[in-house]
């Protein structure tokens, strides 16, 4: 059998199967290193610069290994791309009988039981709501997988989906009349029987938490785990190893209890009246948090006597509802499930409305009509490593952005994998020295200056004009984006595409088609976007992406790190900002033929010692502070394009 690198060289099967396949030394080395880690059942961390081709670099050895492999991606979009596009290409090229499966969280699969309930309870609903239910019913007859992404006409965040999908709280399990035809159950059965299963980080962490709490598992037992976009994993782990509750979850529980009681019992109004009362209290609870949409520390609310009174009232009312519900649970499987959910909700609400444990951050966030309470652990490294150890086998972590100053220390500490781990970094195969230019303009005030953003935009306008539009203008806040938009409207003749006007994928499609647009976006546009060719030739970043010091989670983490003798800036804030900047800068060069300008608008890159850490972490490319050099760069780029024509 060929080695993984031989499958990826100029004469290998991938070169024969894939149009425009380009052998890459970095990709071949990475594939062999991952094969070694799989054979030896070790932990391996691999940073692969943009263009390395890390997906094929881990897919080839994974499929050749003969092992049961779970591959986890950062988002569902990447999960779908991996399963529907990349895996079929590699499997066909290798020509080996490997079975594959796609597995998502249960909220991504139609629940036939809840669809039936939703159709029975349409009193007072709008025509649009009823039309969507009819559309879902028609699709339910044809679908095999039941994956909600099969209906793009109803977007992912539509309010209809929670009504026709299940959660771990409201699922009836084996007691459900539709259990044998359940899409979630069928997807898990297929995953159990397959050699390679594609999941996402949320499902991986959910499985870890469920195993820890003694409720079995979601995922099949595997011999190896490949974690792609691994830089996202620490944040996801923080969410899952904590505790939370939301107004939406509370309202959903109360609605389900009322609906089930009405359908199954309906002997008197006491439970129904109490459900109505609790819904009003949930609304009062939200209003007591203040009207603004924000995130804040629990301490901001806890000192308010009126808020504490409402929290106590909500706890008392839920306890009363539980007392009324428990005797009825044996009369209906649905009411029995509601009874268990109610007990769990009371336990979580009690935990989230008292003083937090010393090693957790207690915070809240408000939305227009809802809220969420959270307990987030300061450090997830110990717990994550413990979960890893309970799932023996090979662990492969890979991303384009794992190192800070060419060191893996920050990533490894976050996940507690500082021992018995091998790591290696491969630079991008793209020729940044000849294809790119880094422009750090002179004359910018300090970022805290009131005229900072207007000065940044003033300096960016001539660059945008030289680029002929074709620019990603990336911001560290919505406030900065909106301020820049107001200026650019009057100063720029190129099309402006603004985050929020359309879904992200639609904006990127428009950007590619227009060929001369300027896209204004915040953090959701800093990663996971691939625009090759001349549609994108400039990336402008307004300032170094340090997290907001007013964020309650960050503030609490900083205080805790200081209490433990650590330096929060150098141990946490700086490394996270470096990794984020690397992601944003990575939008620029996406192909061997791409050329482009990266404009970083922050004087601290030169004035502060830590500026060198940022620059050292970026691909090696020429740096200038002179606009004349930028003009020459674009003039040369035009000449190159004329020669190509």
331 is written with which tokens? Answer: 């009369």
3-class secondary-structure state, position 153: coil
Cα dihedral across residues 47, 48, 53, 57: positive or negative: negative
Q: How many CA atoms lie within 13 A of 281 on its CB side?
A: 21
Query: pLDDT at position 416, please?
Result: 94
Q: List own/partner pairs for 4-13 with CB under 8 A and 24 or more apart.
A: 4/28, 4/31, 4/32, 4/34, 4/35, 4/57, 4/60, 4/61, 4/64, 5/29, 5/31, 5/32, 7/31, 7/60, 7/64, 7/93, 7/94, 8/53, 8/56, 8/57, 8/60, 13/93, 13/94, 13/95
Quick check: 445 and 452 in contact, CB under 8 A?
A: yes
Maximum Cα–Cα distance across the chain: 83
Residue 297, strand partner residues: 363
Query: pLDDT at position 60, please?
Result: 97
Which class for 560: exposed (0-12), middle (13-18), buried (19 or more C-beta within 10 A)? middle
pLDDT, averaged per 10 consecutive residues of the chain (645 residues), comes to 89 88 93 97 96 95 96 91 94 93 93 91 85 95 93 86 88 88 94 95 89 65 95 91 92 91 88 96 94 88 85 96 93 89 94 85 91 91 92 95 94 93 95 95 95 97 97 96 96 95 91 96 93 95 91 83 88 95 95 94 96 95 95 75 40
Query: pLDDT at position 461, please?
Result: 97
Cα–Cα distance measured from residue 351 to residue 343, given in angstroms and rounded to the nearest whole number: 13
Quick check: 203 and 71 in contact, CB under 8 A?
A: no
Cα–Cα distance measured from residue 227 to residue 573, given in angstroms and rounded to the nearest whole number: 24
Q: How far is CA 188 from CA 55, 109, 131, 383, 484, in A?
A: 24, 11, 31, 26, 48
Q: How far is CA 565 from CA 547, 559, 562, 571, 635, in A?
A: 21, 10, 5, 11, 53
3-class secondary-structure state, position 459: helix
CB count within 10 Å of CB 140 equals: 16
3-class secondary-structure state, position 181: helix
The conformation of residue 411, written as its DSSP 8-state character, comes to: H
What lies within 8 Å, CB to CB, of 362 at 6+ separation is 297, 298, 299, 352, 355, 356, 374, 375, 556
Q: Where does 468-547 have alpha helices with state H?
A: 478-491, 504-514
What lies within 8 Å, CB to CB, of 568 at 6+ separation is 557, 558, 561, 562
Cα–Cα distance measured from residue 241 to residue 255, given in angstroms and rounded to the nearest whole number: 28
Angle at which helix 247-264 crosses helix 333-352, to 10 degrees, equals 150
Angle at which helix 247-264 crosses helix 270-287, to 10 degrees, equals 170
What lies within 8 Å, CB to CB, of 544 at 6+ separation is 447, 476, 577, 581, 600, 602, 604, 605, 614
Cα–Cα distance measured from residue 424 to residue 251, given in angstroms and rounded to the nearest whole number: 48
Residue 540, strand partner residues: 473, 599
Cα–Cα distance measured from residue 550 to residue 346, given in angstroms and rounded to the nearest whole number: 31
Residue 244, strand partner residues: 374
Please, what is the end-to-end C-alpha distance for the chain in angstroms? 44
Query: pLDDT at position 217, please?
Result: 63
**Alpha-carbon torsion, ordered 231, 152, 55, 230, to 10 deg:** 10
99 is written with which tokens? Answer: 């079975």
Q: How many CA atoms lie within 13 A of 616 on its CB side?
A: 11
Cα–Cα distance measured from residue 626 to residue 379, given in angstroms and rounded to the nearest whole number: 44
Cα–Cα distance measured from residue 180 to residue 173, given in angstroms and rounded to the nearest whole number: 10
Q: For the stretch 61-98, what's the b/e string if a residue is b when 16 or more beta carbons lie within 10 angstroms of its beta carbon? A: bbbbbebbbbbbbbebebbbbbbeebbebbbebbeeeb
**Alpha-carbon torsion, ordered 156, 160, 217, 172, to 10 deg:** -170
Cα–Cα distance measured from residue 588 to residue 112, given in angstroms and rounded to the nearest whole number: 45
Cα–Cα distance measured from residue 633 to residue 625, given in angstroms and rounded to the nearest whole number: 13
Quick check: 49 and 428 in contact, CB under 8 A?
A: yes
Cα–Cα distance measured from residue 344 to residue 341, given in angstroms and rounded to the nearest whole number: 5
Query: pLDDT at position 34, please?
Result: 98
CB count within 10 Å of CB 280 equals: 10
346 is written with which tokens? Answer: 């009371």
What lies within 8 Å, CB to CB, of 455 at 6+ separation is 443, 444, 445, 449
Task: Tokens 């890159």: give the residue.
Answer: 605
413 is written with which tokens? Answer: 């500490």
Task: Tokens 């929020």: give the residue.
Answer: 500
Quick check: 59 and 210 in contact, CB under 8 A?
A: no
Quick check: 548 and 477 in contact, CB under 8 A?
A: yes
Q: How far is CA 598 from CA 140, 290, 428, 461, 611, in A?
A: 48, 41, 16, 14, 16
Domains in the chain, start-ordered, CATH in brackets? Answer: 4-99+194-240+380-426 (3.40.50.300), 106-184 (no CATH), 244-374 (1.20.120), 432-644 (3.40.50.300)
3-class secondary-structure state, position 149: helix
CB count within 10 Å of CB 350 equals: 13
Query: pLDDT at position 638, please?
Result: 52
């Amino acid at each position: 059998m060929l080695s993984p690198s031989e499958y990826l060289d100029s004469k290998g099967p991938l070169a024969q199967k894939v149009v425009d396949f380009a052998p890459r030394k970095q990709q071949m080395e990475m594939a062999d290193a991952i094969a070694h880690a799989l054979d030896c059942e070790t932990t391996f961390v691999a940073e692969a610069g943009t263009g390395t081709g890390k997906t094929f670099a881990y897919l080839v050895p994974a499929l050749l290994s003969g092992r049961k492999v779970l591959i986890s991606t950062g988002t569902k979009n990447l999960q779908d791309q991996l399963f529907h596009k990349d895996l079929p290409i590699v499997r066909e090229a290798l020509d080996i009988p490997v079975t594959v499966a796609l597995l998502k969280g249960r909220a991504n699969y139609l629940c036939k039981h809840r669809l039936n309930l939703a159709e029975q309870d349409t009193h007072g609903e709008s025509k649009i709501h009823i039309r969507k239910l009819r559309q879902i019913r028609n699709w339910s007859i044809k679908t095999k997988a039941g994956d909600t992404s099969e209906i793009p006409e109803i977007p992912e965040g539509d309010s209809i989906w929670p009504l026709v999908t299940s959660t771990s709280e409201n699922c009836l399990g084996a007691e459900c009349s539709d259990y044998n035809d359940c899409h979630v159950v069928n997807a898990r059965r297929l995953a159990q029987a397959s050699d390679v299963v594609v999941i996402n980080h949320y499902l991986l962490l959910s499985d870890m938490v469920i195993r820890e709490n003694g409720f079995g598992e979601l995922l099949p037992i595997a011999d190896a785990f490949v974690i792609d976009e691994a830089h996202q994993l620490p944040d996801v782990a923080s969410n899952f190893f904590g505790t939370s509750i939301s107004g939406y979850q509370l309202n959903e529980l109360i609605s389900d209890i009322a609906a089930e009681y009405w359908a199954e019992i309906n002997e008197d109004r006491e439970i129904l009246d109490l459900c109505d009362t609790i819904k009003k209290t949930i609304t009062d609870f939200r209003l007591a948090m203040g009207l603004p949409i924000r995130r804040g520390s629990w301490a901001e609310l806890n000192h308010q006597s009126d808020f504490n009174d409402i929290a106590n009232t909500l706890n008392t009312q839920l306890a009363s509802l539980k007392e009324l519900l428990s005797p009825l649970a044996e009369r209906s499987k649905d009411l029995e499930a509601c009874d268990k959910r109610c007990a769990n909700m009371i336990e979580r609400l009690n935990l989230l409305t008292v003083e937090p444990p010393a090693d957790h951050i207690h915070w809240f966030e408000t939305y227009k009509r809802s809220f969420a309470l959270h307990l987030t652990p300061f450090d997830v490294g110990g717990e994550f490593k413990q979960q890893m150890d309970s799932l023996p086998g090979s662990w492969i972590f890979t991303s384009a952005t794992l190192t800070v100053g060419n060191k893996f220390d920050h990533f490894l500490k976050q996940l507690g994998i500082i021992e018995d781990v091998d790591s290696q970094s491969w630079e991008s195969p793209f020729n940044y020295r000849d294809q790119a230019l880094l422009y750090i303009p002179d004359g910018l005030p300090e970022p805290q200056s009131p005229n900072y953003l207007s000065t940044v935009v003033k300096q960016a306008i001539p660059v945008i004009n030289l680029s002929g539009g074709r620019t990603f203008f990336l911001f560290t806040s919505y406030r900065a984006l909106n301020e820049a938009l107001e200026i650019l409207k009057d100063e720029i003749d190129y099309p402006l595409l603004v985050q929020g006007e359309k879904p992200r994928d639609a904006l990127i499609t428009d950007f590619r088609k227009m060929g001369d647009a300027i896209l204004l976006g915040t953090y959701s546009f800093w990663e996971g976007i691939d625009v090759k060719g001349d549609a994108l030739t400039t990336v402008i970043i307004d300032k170094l992406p340090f997290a907001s010091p007013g964020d309650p989670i960050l503030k609490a983490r900083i205080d805790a790190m200081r209490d433990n003798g650590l330096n929060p800036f150098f141990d946490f804030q700086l490394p996270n900002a470096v990794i984020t900047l690397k992601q944003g800068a990575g939008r620029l060069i996406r192909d061997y033929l791409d050329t482009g300008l990266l404009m970083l608008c922050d004087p601290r890159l030169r004035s502060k010692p830590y500026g060198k850490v940022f620059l050292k972490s970026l691909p090696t490319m020429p740096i200038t502070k002179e606009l004349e050099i930028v003009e020459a760069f674009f003039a040369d780029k035009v000449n190159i394009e004329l020669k190509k024509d």
